[in-house]
Amino acid sequence: MTLVEERVVDEKGRLYLGRRLRGRRLYLARAAGVIVVADSREEAERAARIIAARVLDEYLGLLERLGEPTPKEVEEASREQQWMAIEKLRRS
């Protein structure tokens, strides 16, 4: 199972997902710069809630670690945290 696939959005804003999904109704969940494609509304809503909760947890963790940070410190620490999470996913 592939966790991450790269697809390119064409000049008309279309994203090709493959023939096996042709004609199916899909749902997009968008939260914190992440887009999840699901085949049911419930799964998309669940994914959006999980992403939002994760972002909030990260932010609260940053506040705990940095105290009252400047916006630039928050951005740098958040980027570092995201890379650490990606590396953790790669290893598993």
pLDDT recorded at residue 11: 93
R_g (Cα) of the chain, nearest Å: 16
DSSP per-residue string spanning 6-64:
---B-TTS-B---GGGTT---EEEEETTEEEEESSHHHHHHHHHHHHHHHHHHHHHHHH
Question: Which one-letter amino acid corresponds to residue 60?
Answer: L
Task: Per residue of the chain (92 residues), give pLDDT as tens.
Answer: 456 677 888 999 988 888 888 889 999 888 777 788 888 899 888 888 888 888 888 878 877 887 777 888 778 888 888 888 777 766 76
pLDDT recorded at residue 26: 92
